[in-house]
Amino acid sequence: MNIDSIKNGYVIDHIEAGKSFEIYNYLNLGELDTSVAIIKNAKSNKTGKKDIIKIDENLDINLDILGYLDPKITVNKIKDGKIIEKFHPELPEKLVNVVKCKNPRCITSIEQELPHICELTDRENVVYRCKYCEEQVNR
């Protein structure tokens, strides 16, 4: 299967096979006007299968969330058809409305308009806690 290579934009590579739609939704890519390609089950030498997302525009997208979703993801920034930057997104210090606190005793369980804020409290063990009730939230 051929997908045109992009001139300016991002290639989000090494996504765990089957997870691309989740990432597409988290990044709100559905709202973009530009071409976005989702490649499912692409061949991977390392893992056998992987997903890839290509975004054909150099937008200012906050990709930090990718570090939280899957630290193995690689982001390639493309300019004039060439990779100008390649990185693994860092774990963000704070997540806003990415994951919901599931603690039934948390204030967010009754006050729906509150933003769901989670903070990184242990980088080594990747522990995020709800800003309100401090309960650990799971990916």
Partner 1 sequence: MKHLIDIKDLSVEEIDELITVAKDIMANKEKYAKKCEGKKLATLFYEPSTRTRLSFEAAMLDLGGNVLGFSSAQTSSASKGETVEDTVRMVGGYADIIAMRHPKEGAPFVASLKAEVPIINAGDGGHCHPTQTLTDLLTIHCEKHRLSDLTIGICGDLKFGRTVHSLITAMSRYSNIKIVLISPDELKLPDYVKRDVLEKNHMEYVETNDMEEYMPELDILYMTRVQQERFFNEEDYIRLKDYYILNEEKLENAKKDLCIMHPLPRVNEIAVEVDDDPRACYFKQAKYGKFIRMALILKLLEIK
Q: Which residues here bind partner 1, judged by CB under 8 A? A: 103, 105-111, 113-114, 121-122, 127, 130-136
Token representation of residue 50: 């992987």
Is 52 in contact with 39 (CB distance < 8 Å)? yes
**Which CB atom, from 93 or from 134, has the smaller least distance to partner 1?**
134
Start-to-end CA distance of the chain, whole Å, equals 32
Shortest Cβ 128–partner 1 spacing (Å): 12
| Amino acid in the structure at residue 68 | Y
Shortest Cβ 124–partner 1 spacing (Å): 11
CB neighbour class for 137 (10 Å; exposed up to 12, middle 13-18, buried from 19):
buried
Token representation of residue 6: 């992009």
**Which CB atom, from 8 or from 103, has the smaller least distance to partner 1?**
103
Shortest Cβ 120–partner 1 spacing (Å): 13
**Which CB atom, from 27 or from 106, has the smaller least distance to partner 1?**
106
Q: Give the list of residues 6+ apart from residue 101 with CB closer than 8 angstroms, or none.
A: 108, 109, 116, 118, 130, 132, 133, 135, 137
**Which CB atom, from 34 or from 121, has the smaller least distance to partner 1?**
121
Shortest Cβ 70–partner 1 spacing (Å): 23
